[in-house]
């Protein structure tokens, strides 16, 4: 039978229910804690819990309609500190735990395996205690001062002090009430207490803010998706799921003062396995992670609780599907008809490939920064039948190239190239056949892929208009991989061809640059060098440069003479590179390839050549400088042809992404203004 109490010491703001019960015991006049337990919980053997409590269903029945299990849990325990970092299922079960005997609480919250030590006593802030005495006439136990891992008061930024009475020695069934006579109410702080203060105060403020959030508003499922958003925005994800683990861990460790993570039992090592940080951001269902460590991650991301709550949950690097078809020739243009995206990583950059049933395929570099990115594409990888039919129709109608580019949503250069690829004649065929045969004679061991790379225009023409002759003279790789009647002979022939080709690569490099070293050859021709060193050792040792001692090289090299030689070569070839119809970015690597000087792209090597180094520094281009030069070249042509510049058409012609084009646009506008003034 439940008996309503005639009075109860209603909890003060942020007071633990444990503290309110201790005051009830004091004011009720009960001489034994067992009597108090009987009145509140109808049990004489209940063991008090400082942080959480138990048997709340019985307690609220005795207290009356002003209380509920949920309100006590949310307002008068430390549970809101943990709630956002456990699953929805555990949240429901924990409500059942506190309603009854509370035996499963610590396991569900991950406290038992969390490795963050529980506070061995009751804590208070001197200034808070003085304020409580002035306002309420007595001090009480604030829940924000009992949070594990938190050593500072979030309100006054003072270190917390431990109440001198140890609850572990006080009484098994007892409740400790703060007595002002037992407390150090001085607000002076020891100098030693200021170690790590800046970090700890921020963590304390975040922890207190957690106590104000409704306990059902968030769960680890939602928090994890927000973490993914932060990881993606900060470029810590390599693919949709794979983490840049080493880089992330190094950055995380460097964020905190030395010794901080060790002191607060949250050490992270770069090479360690199954660490709490990895669990938090990759597999939250594996184990519960202590809320203090979640605060450390938020601190690392420079987030507070309010800003974190505003973060959008991650839907993947390219948002939530479906995605639009960006085939402007199709009736379903910009309709959300693509249900899947294929995600790959290239040079640590995410690439999303979107394929429509009409055959149109495009890619986009991710992750998306805004919802508007869904309507953009980086590159078209396949046009499809619908697009091709529209292209053929526009060509037959003799529509202008510019209008075709607009109607098909491609660059003007693409239109010119596709029209050129359709043009054929016996004269052109003979011309391109001769180019291939000449190139083949010069490089007899080269493969079809190299031909396609070196003579792209020639290859494209022959592939489209003379494929039978091309395949006969230069079989594709897949043709040579068909299983023959006598595989042993074919395997032998393929091996011999491979050896001959690799030999020719190294010999040509040695011929063009006699002073090349083995190290330089191994870097430039990695596969050939390794293969010949393992399978053709006798030829390898006989024909490659001898291994040189470092001292011999240093003493034998006339750096001044080499500096003058390289300087002159670069100075001669530079105007040719700048005059190329198709601009190329001027870099040390470019000169290295053009002049067959292997080390011009190696900074430590070039620094030994002062004239060469100075010249390279003067003429080498950043990516932005090259984009500006390339755009200016197109601007000159536009002004000459139309006496006007359309920036969107300019951007497409120069293949500059929108976000980078915005940065260089002011320079282009200034260039256009100067050009127009001259005319």
Q: Chain centroid to CA 659: how far?
A: 18
DSSP string, 436-502: HHHHHHH-TT--HHHHHHHTHHHHHHHHHH-HHHHHHHS--HHHHTSPPSSHHHHHHHHHHHHHHHH
> Which residues lie closer than 8 Å to 523 by C-beta, 6 or more apart?
598
Buried-state track 461-491, b at ≥16 Cβ within 10 A, e below 16: bbeebbeeebeeebeeeeeeeeeeeeeeeee
pLDDT at position 240 is 59
Give the model's pLDDT for residue 482: 37
Does the structure show a pLDDT above 50 at 489? Answer: no
What does the pLDDT read at residue 444? Answer: 78
278-297 confidence digits (pLDDT tens): 888 888 777 788 999 999 99
pLDDT number for residue 163: 95
Residue 553 has pLDDT above 70, yes or no: no
- Higher model confidence: residue 471 or residue 393? 393
Q: Residue 192 above 70 pLDDT? A: no
pLDDT at 648 over 60: yes
Q: How many residues does the chain have?
A: 679
Task: Give the confidence band of 483 by pLDDT, cuts at 50, 70, 90.
Answer: very low
pLDDT tens digits along 216-240: 888 999 999 999 889 888 888 766 5
pLDDT tier at 551, thresholds 50, 70, 90 = very low
Q: Which of 37-51, 73-87, 634-648: highest mean pLDDT?
A: 73-87
pLDDT grade for 193, boundaries at 50, 70 and 90: low
Q: What percent of the chain has pLDDT over 90?
A: 32
Collapsing DSSP to helix, strand or coil, 344 comes out as: strand
The DSSP secondary structure of 558-618, one letter per residue, reads -HHHHHHHHHHHHHHHHHHHHT-SS-----HHHHHHHHT-GGGG-HHHHTT-HHHHHHHHH
CB 314 within 8 A of CB 226: yes
Map tokens 């006007």 to a residue: 644
Structure tokens at 616: 């390279």
pLDDT at 227: 92
Each residue's pLDDT tens digit, 333-353: 999 999 888 888 776 677 889
pLDDT tier for residue 439 given thresholds of 50, 70 and 90? confident
Q: Tell me the average pLDDT across 109-128.
A: 82
What is the structure's pLDDT at 650?
87
Quick one: average pLDDT of 298-312?
92
Q: Which residue has the higher pLDDT, 490 or 140?
A: 140
The percentage of the chain sitting over the pLDDT mark of 70, rounded to a whole number, equals 92
Q: What is the mean pLDDT of residues 443-447?
A: 76
d(CA 669, CA 355): 37
In this predicted model, which residue has the larger pLDDT, 574 or 118? Answer: 574
Provide the pLDDT for residue 484: 42
pTM of the model: 0.57
Least confident of 16-25, 58-67, 519-528, 562-571: 519-528
Reported as a pLDDT band with limits 50, 70 and 90, residue 194 is low
Closest CA relative to residue 195, chosen from 265, 264, 104, 290: 264
What's the pLDDT tens digit per position in 449-481?
778 877 888 888 888 778 788 888 777 654 443
Q: Is the pLDDT of residue 488 over 70?
A: no
């Amino acid at each position: 039978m439940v008996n309503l109490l005639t009075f109860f010491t209603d909890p003060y703001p942020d007071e633990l229910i444990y503290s309110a019960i201790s005051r009830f015991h004091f004011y009720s006049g009960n001489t034994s804690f067992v009597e108090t337990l009987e009145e509140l919980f109808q049990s004489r053997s209940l063991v008090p819990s400082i942080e959480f409590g138990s048997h709340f269903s019985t307690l609220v029945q005795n207290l009356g309609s002003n209380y509920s299990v949920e309100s006590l849990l949310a307002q008068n325990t430390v549970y809101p500190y943990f709630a956002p970092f456990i699953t929805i299922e555990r949240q429901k079960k924990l409500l059942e735990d506190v309603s009854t005997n509370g035996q499963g609480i610590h396991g569900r919250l991950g406290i038992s395996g969390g490795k963050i030590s529980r506070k061995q006593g009751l804590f208070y802030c001197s200034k808070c205690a003085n304020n409580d005495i002035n306002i309420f006439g007595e001090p009480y136990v604030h829940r924000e001062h009992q949070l594990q891992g938190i050593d500072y008061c979030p309100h006054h930024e003072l270190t917390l002090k431990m109440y001198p009475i140890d609850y572990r020695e006080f009484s098994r069934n007892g409740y400790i009430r703060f007595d002002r006579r037992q407390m150090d109410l001085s607000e002076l702080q020891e100098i030693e207490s200021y170690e790590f203060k800046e970090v700890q105060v921020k963590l304390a403020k975040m922890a207190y803010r957690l106590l104000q959030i409704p306990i059902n508003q968030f769960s680890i499922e939602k928090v994890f998706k927000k973490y993914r958003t932060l990881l993606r925005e900060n470029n810590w994800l390599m693919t949709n799921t794979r983490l840049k683990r080493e880089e992330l861990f190094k950055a995380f460790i460097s964020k905190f003062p030395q010794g901080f993570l060790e002191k607060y039992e949250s050490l992270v090592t770069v090479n360690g396995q199954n660490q709490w940080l990895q669990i938090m951001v990759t597999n939250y269902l594996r184990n519960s992670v202590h809320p203090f460590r979640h605060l450390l991650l938020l601190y690392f991301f420079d987030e507070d609780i309010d800003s974190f709550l505003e973060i959008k949950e991650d839907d993947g690097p390219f948002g939530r599907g479906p995605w639009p078809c960006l085939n402007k020739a199709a009736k379903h243009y910009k309709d959300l008809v693509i249900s899947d995206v294929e995600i790959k990583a290239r040079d640590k950059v995410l690439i999303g490939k979107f394929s429509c049933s009409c055959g149109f395929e495009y890619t986009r570099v991710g992750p998306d920064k805004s919802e508007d990115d869904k309507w953009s594409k980086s590159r078209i990888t396949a046009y499809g039948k619908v697009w091709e039919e529209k292209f053929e129709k526009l060509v037959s109608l003799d529509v202008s190239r510019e209008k075709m580019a607009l109607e098909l949503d491609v660059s003007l250069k693409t239109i010119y190239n596709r029209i050129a690829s359709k043009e054929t004649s016996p004269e052109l065929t003979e011309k391109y056949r001769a180019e291939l045969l000449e190139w083949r004679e010069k490089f007899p061991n080269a493969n079809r892929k190299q031909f396609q790379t070196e003579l792209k225009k020639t290859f494209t023409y022959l592939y489209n208009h003379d494929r039978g002759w091309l395949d006969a003279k230069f079989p594709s790789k897949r043709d040579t991989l068909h299983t023959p009647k006598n595989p042993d002979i074919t395997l032998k022939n393929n091996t011999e061809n491979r050896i001959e080709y690799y030999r020719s690569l190294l010999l040509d490099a040695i011929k063009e640059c006699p002073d090349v070293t083995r190290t330089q050859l191994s870097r430039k021709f990695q596969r050939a060098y390794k293969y010949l060193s393992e399978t053709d050792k006798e030829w390898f040792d006989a024909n490659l440069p001898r291994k040189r001692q470092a001292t011999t090289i240093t003493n034998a090299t006339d750096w001044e003479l080499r500096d003058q030689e390289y300087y002159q070569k670069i100075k001669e070839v530079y105007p040719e590179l700048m005059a190329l119809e198709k601009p190329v970015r001027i870099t040390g690597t470019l000169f290295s390839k053009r002049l067959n000087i292997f080390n011009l792209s190696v900074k430590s090597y070039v620094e030994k050549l002062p004239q060469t180094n100075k010249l390279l520094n003067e003429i080498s281009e950043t990516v932005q400088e090259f984009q500006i030069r390339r755009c200016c070249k197109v601007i000159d042509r536009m002004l000459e042809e139309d006496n006007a510049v359309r920036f969107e058409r300019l951007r497409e012609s120069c293949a500059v992404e929108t976000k980078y084009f915005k940065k260089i646009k002011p320079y282009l506008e200034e260039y256009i203004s100067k050009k127009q003034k001259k005319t």
